Amino acid sequence: DAGVIQSPRHEVTEMGQEVTLRCKPISGHNSLFWYRQTMMRGLELLIYFNNNVPIDDSGMPEDRFSAKMPNASFSTLKIQPSEPRDSAVYFCASSGLGSGTNTGELFFGEGSRLTVL
């Protein structure tokens, strides 16, 4: 298995532009998480999907952030409009939690490093 795949790995954009980050979870996993990591705040949970349905989006910072999971193999995190304070590494993680076969281990992608100028 290729693991969790995220794209792009690096994104540099200007303030006000729309940013879309993409994630392909591990096949068979039914839970997907988006995290944001900064030096100041560490790893923050943004949103959690289970069976493609958003369960908890209380960590989404503002209305500028939105996430979708149209099917079991794809999710997007969109920021519109982007601001310099959104600069961070965004991680996607998947888990087989709830499938009765696992211990809740999260498998992370390599992250998307976003820089908003």
State the amino acid at position 31 in one-letter form. Answer: S
Verify binding: residue 34, other proteins, rule CB under 8 A. no
CB of 111 to other proteins, least distance (A): 6
Among 19, 109, 114, 116, the residue binding other proteins under the rule CB under 8 A is 109
Cβ distance 4 to 24 under 8 Å?
Answer: yes
Q: How far is residue 55 from each of residues 29, 66, 94, measured CA to CA in Å?
A: 15, 14, 14
Nearer to other proteins, 5 or 81 (CB): 5
The position carrying tokens 């560490």 is: 42
Verify binding: residue 100, other proteins, rule CB under 8 A. no
Verify binding: residue 97, other proteins, rule CB under 8 A. yes
